[in-house]
Amino acid sequence: MKNVVLLGSTGSIGTSTLKVVEDLLGHLRLIGLAAGNNVDLLLEQARKHSPATLSISDPAKAKQLQDALGTGTRVYAGDEGLIKLATLPEADIVLIAIVGTAGLQPALAAIRAGKDIAVASKEILVMAGEIVMAEAKKHGVRVLAVDSEHSAIFQCLDDKPASSVRNLWLTASGGPFRDKAQWPKEKFNEITVERALKHPSWVMGRKITIDSATLFNKGLEMIEARWLFDIEMARVQVVVHPQSIVHSMVEFVDGSIIAQMSTPDMCLPIQYALTYPERVGSDRVQTNFAKIGSLTFEEPDTERFPALKLARRAGEVGGTLPAVLNAANEVAVEAFCKRQIGFPQITTTVARVMEHHKVIAHPTLAQILEADTWARAEAARA
């Protein structure tokens, strides 16, 4: 039985994780849940799963939870609450599914407390992948991927060293604006928030859905792969695969390519991360190739979606530049969602902020956080 702490339980990954825990009751036990603002859903989850410890951003909401649940449950608040949960002595694994970079400090705290971490929040690895992976090595803990692409690569690699890899192939659905005839670059100005939020194959949180429309999501994933698998950016490739059945592939030095496939359902990579190294039986995900019919692949269009080029540059240059790309993108996505900027300006904002940044190589955590703050302020400037 593994004791699981889940940070970000009220989000898309969080609620899928709770389904996995319900599927595997004899294997997984939830001991801690943390959320941002959604006190009603967190309370409902706490009543159903009875974790001993909870945390929520706002102290007033923490009090509300404590009053509703009584003294049998410990309730914490804010950033300190996330750290408390991430370091619970009974925890075996901490799944981090908080959108954005708020999960970075809890991730480092969990690693330093000797916990394996399962990372959905790719922003953490984009921002501070070098530090996170070095800390994990130092403390002898695993950093397991929850992103479906990275879970696929992890499964395909099967412990083979980076020296046996020619290329990692990340698949991308291409997002809602993949069709060039329907969405030429000149029409990108007309893209509304509602339209960008309609993803063709996945139902996800708001930020990652917009990132999938700009292809920044794939760009972030390229940098995430670079750190998770300790491989240089030149060997991280992207191919568009609209059916989202092949979740990613590894091309080995002998030319053999291994892919991991299934109908798209985040419960599968979540389950694999939580039960690794075991494979535990579950009927949740079924794949019928005869019904799927065909799988297609195409080159990504970096002219309409420059996010991929920006991310490749950030990953290649390294240092503080990936953190800057990530922070500028977060601010620009938020501004787009508030209708303050248009869809094409998400990418132009990120490019402008990256252009103005003075990169620090092999930065400390403090320097990364400083670069993140600088990039947010720079991105917010009209």
Ligand X SMILES: NC(=O)c1ccc[n+]([C@@H]2O[C@H](COP(=O)([O-])OP(=O)(O)OC[C@H]3O[C@@H](n4cnc5c(N)ncnc54)[C@H](OP(=O)(O)O)[C@@H]3O)[C@@H](O)[C@H]2O)c1
Residue closer to ligand X, measured from CB, 98 or 132: 98
Answer for which of 45, 53, 121, 347 binds ligand X (CB under 6 A) is 121
Answer for which of 3, 5, 11, 33 binds ligand X (CB under 6 A) is 11
Answer for which of 2, 19, 29, 38 binds ligand X (CB under 6 A) is 38
Q: Which of these segments, 68-76, 114-122, 182-190, 328-336, binds ligand X (CB under 6 A)?
A: 114-122
Strands 246-252 and 165-172, by their bridges, are antiparallel
Verify binding: residue 252, ligand X, rule CB under 6 A: no
Q: 189-225: buried (b, 16+ CB within 10 Å) or exposed (e) per residue?
A: eebeeeebeebebbebbbbbbbbbbbbbbbbbbbbbb
Instruction: Report how far residue 230's alpha carbon sits from residue 209's, in angstroms, rounded to the nearest whole number.
Output: 27
Q: Which of these segments, 189-197, 202-210, 281-289, 327-335, binds ligand X (CB under 6 A)?
A: 202-210
Answer for which of 109, 204, 321, 368 binds ligand X (CB under 6 A) is 204
Q: What CA–CA distances, in Å, run from 331 to 126, 368, 379?
A: 16, 17, 6
Verify binding: residue 120, ligand X, rule CB under 6 A: yes
Instruction: Report how far residue 28's alpha carbon sits from residue 279's, in angstroms, rounded to the nearest whole number.
Output: 13
Residue closer to ligand X, measured from CB, 264 or 344: 264
Amino acid, res. 200: P
Verify binding: residue 202, ligand X, rule CB under 6 A: yes
DSSP, collapsed to helix, strand or coil, labels residue 169 as strand
Verify binding: residue 98, ligand X, rule CB under 6 A: yes
Answer for which of 46, 93, 99, 156 binds ligand X (CB under 6 A) is 99
Q: How many CA atoms lie within 13 A of 346 on its CB side?
A: 31
Verify binding: residue 102, ligand X, rule CB under 6 A: yes
Q: Which of these segments, 153-161, 197-205, 345-353, 360-368, binds ligand X (CB under 6 A)?
A: 197-205
Q: Cβ contacts of residue 363 below 8 Å, gap of 6+? A: 319, 320, 323, 371
What residue ranges bind ligand X (CB under 6 A)? 8-14, 34-38, 57, 82, 97-99, 102, 120-123, 147, 202, 204-206, 208, 266
